[in-house]
Amino acid sequence: MRRRPGVLVALDVPSAAEALDLARRLVEQATGFKVGLELLMGPGPGVVAAVRELGRPVFVDAKLHDIPATVERAARRLGRLGARWLTVHASGGDDMVRAAVEGLTSQAPDAGVVAVTVLTSLDEPRLARVIGSGSVGRQVARLASLADDAGAEGVVCSVSELGVVAQAAPRLLRVTPGIRPVGAAADDQARVATPSEAVRRGADLVVVGRPVTRASDPAAALRSLVAEMEQAVDTQGNGVGE
């Protein structure tokens, strides 16, 4: 029977104190924590090391996208601070992704770059305005293959494209944001899915933020989400489901 995906809780809060308080309350259930742009641009990259001290891996969602030399230096710094995973935009090109891998692993040999394919806030019409033509699936497949060739450990994609990534780059770790329990608001996400759908379609890591962190009881919300995923795993193990 396959294991449920790991759960990364997005610490999308404005201060390091809030992030650490939230992480301490959730550390028993969370696989790891995401430190994103709000914290990186607020209290600064040092918050990565502070969260890492809690004993869980840190997914640094910096979404780097610049010339290779600049990305390499930024990745080197974040690796030194304790990033286990670091996101870059695959659309920056294979040289840029490769530079990120080199910078990160020079400081943290066991760390890995995770390449963002198509943001989950983009649906087909919005994506068409960016790239002109081509479906979300085709773009994800193209960028996943590029990331694989450049040495990335994984990619970020929506649950809807997990099968596409499995075909285009089966080696890669599959990380899925846009996770919403049944009945939860989609907020600004366009391509969302439930935790059980993520399990059934083969996610390795799911990233969840507002449904947990803005709940009246974040710990209870996370326990409920994990329980839903465990149930989906059990259902698959019993030969039921997709």
Q: What is the pLDDT along the chain (242 residues), one digit of tens a residue?
A: 467 899 999 999 999 999 999 999 999 999 999 999 999 999 999 999 999 999 999 999 999 999 999 999 999 999 999 999 999 999 999 999 999 999 999 999 999 999 999 887 777 778 777 776 668 888 999 999 999 999 999 999 999 999 999 999 999 999 999 887 755 554 545 456 889 999 999 999 999 999 999 999 999 999 999 999 998 887 775 443 44
Domain count of the chain?
1
**In-domain check, residue 41:** yes
For residue 155, CA distances in Å to 100, 135, 147, 151 come to 14, 18, 7, 11
**In-domain check, residue 161:** yes
**In-domain check, residue 242:** no
**In-domain check, residue 1:** no
**In-domain check, residue 88:** yes
**In-domain check, residue 27:** yes
Residue ranges making up the domain that contains 193: 6-237
Among 63, 142, 210, 223, the one annotated catalytic: 63
What span, in angstroms and rounded, lies between the C-alpha atoms of 46 and 83? 11
CATH number at residue 109: 3.20.20.70
Q: What token pair was written down for 10?
A: 């997005």
63 is annotated as an active-site residue: yes
**In-domain check, residue 137:** yes
> Crossing angle of helices 136-149/94-107, nearest 10°?
50
Say if pTM beats, i.e. exceeds, 0.85.
yes
Output helix, strand, coil percentages for the chain, rounded to the nearest 5. Answer: 50, 15, 35
**In-domain check, residue 53:** yes
